Amino acid sequence: MHLIQRMIAPASELPESSQVVLSAERRQFLKRRWRGIANDGTEFGFDLESRLVDGAVIFQQDGKDYIVRQLPEMVYEVVFESPAHAAMVAWRVGNLHLPAQILEDRIHVLYDEAMSHLIGYEGWAYSEPEVLFQPLKAVAHA
């Protein structure tokens, strides 16, 4: 097992054929200590100084870059109908304190029962896509 303390680079410059992927759920990217197994069976232990990013090179061996990739996950997606609608959706979702990713014309929110109830109560049009979810990083009382 290889112990990883920091990423080597935020992205690989090698062609895909020279990259070995270790897939991880979004929540793993929030942890400092965890374990994972790359597609070729190589085992890694993580004791990180700082968070990894999707696509980061974590190890290099035999002309190959080992990269960590975030797995897509199902989210609720609400498309904004107008600026006023966007403000209302963001305010209501913010009151739930759920992880959210705000995009230019829509919002992705953690797939959660509370959000399901809010969508039903408000009658918002929504979809449930599987995406690479990258919610805002909240900083309390900043």
37 falls within a domain: yes
6 lies in the same domain as 63: yes
80 lies in the same domain as 45: no
107 falls within a domain: yes
12 falls within a domain: yes
15 lies in the same domain as 63: yes
Judging by beta carbons within 10 Å of its beta carbon (0-12, 13-18, 19+), is residue 1 exposed, middle or buried?
exposed
Q: What range does the domain containing 46 cover?
A: 2-70
142 falls within a domain: no
Distance in angstroms (rounded) separating the CA atoms of residues 93 and 100: 8
Q: What integer is the mean pLDDT of 92-118?
A: 95
Distance in angstroms (rounded) separating the CA atoms of residues 21 and 130: 20
- Overall number of domains in the chain: 2
pTM over 0.85: no
Least-confidence region, from 99-108, 120-129, 130-139: 130-139
Using 50, 70 and 90 to split pLDDT, how confident is the model at 138? Answer: low
Q: Is the dihedral of CA 83, 87, 92, 94 positive or negative?
A: positive
Distance in angstroms (rounded) separating the CA atoms of residues 69 and 133: 12
